[in-house]
Amino acid sequence: MAFSAEDVIQHIVVAFERRSLEEGAPIFQSYSSEVDTEAIERLARDTAWIDLPHEVLCDNPLALALMTPQAFAWFLPAYLVMSITLYSETDTLTTTIITCLTPPDKADETQFAALVDEMHVLGVEVDEAWEGSVGEDSDLLQLFMERAAALTQDEKAAVRDYLEHVDATHGADFPVFGPKQALDRYWRTAVPPR
């Protein structure tokens, strides 16, 4: 059952309102030149998650994917709320969120192989290193499970509501990989429905 944007945002805010980040806890487990890690780390020390500036999050959509499980759980609600409120302006960010919320599985490898085949048919050059490079990755699965374990049951329910909302309102934007896969692979059964 999909709820309105306002209902989902309210559920996220209430579910994560007590979420804190331990002082001095590391934020990133890996780094990218595409992420302003200094700004993100400063904000984590000086700001509540609900007050994180939207422009910093929008400018750093990849940051969530590089975070430790504890930092991920702290930043996640800000990203979720922004994804809903500014959906049309946050396509990369929303895709990053969904990717982080989707455990890998064998189907990914099959879909990726089909995409590579279609690209060959269309005459698009594909880097040979890509072929056969995507599949169920035990390290990614472990990271997903650590991130999910860092969330409370109420927080998991809020994530499920977010994914159901995005699927109901924007599911067509994700024809191959999107909120439906995240829901089907984990979130739909992670907590009882409300």
- The model's pLDDT over 172-183, given as tens digits with 9 standing for 90+, comes to 999 878 999 999
CB count, 10 Å around CB of 129? 7
Q: In whole angstroms, what is the distance from residue 6 CA to residue 169 CA?
A: 13
| Structural domain boundaries enclosing 117 | 5-190
- How does the average pLDDT of the chain come out, rounded? 88
Rounded Cα distance between 16 and 104, Å, is: 25
Collapsing DSSP to helix, strand or coil, 67 comes out as: strand
Q: pLDDT band at 90, cuts 50/70/90? A: confident
How many domains, the chain? 1
Tens-place pLDDT, residues 45-71: 999 999 999 999 999 999 999 999 999
More confident residue, 1 or 110: 110
Report pTM: 0.85
Share of the chain above pLDDT 90, in %: 73
Residue 12: CA atoms inside 13 Å, Cβ hemisphere, count? 29
Angle at 35 between CA 103 and CA 24, to 5 degrees: 85
Of 44 and 125, the one with more pLDDT: 44
CA distances from 85 to 6, 56, 100 (A): 9, 15, 19
* Measured distance CA(10)–CA(158) in Å, rounded: 9
Task: Taking residues 145-150, report their average pLDDT.
Answer: 97
pLDDT at 186: 95
Helix axes 37-46 and 69-85, enclosed angle (nearest 10): 90
- pLDDT range class, residue 170, cuts 50, 70, 90: very high
d(CA 98, CA 181): 9
Q: What's the mean pLDDT in 85-109?
A: 87
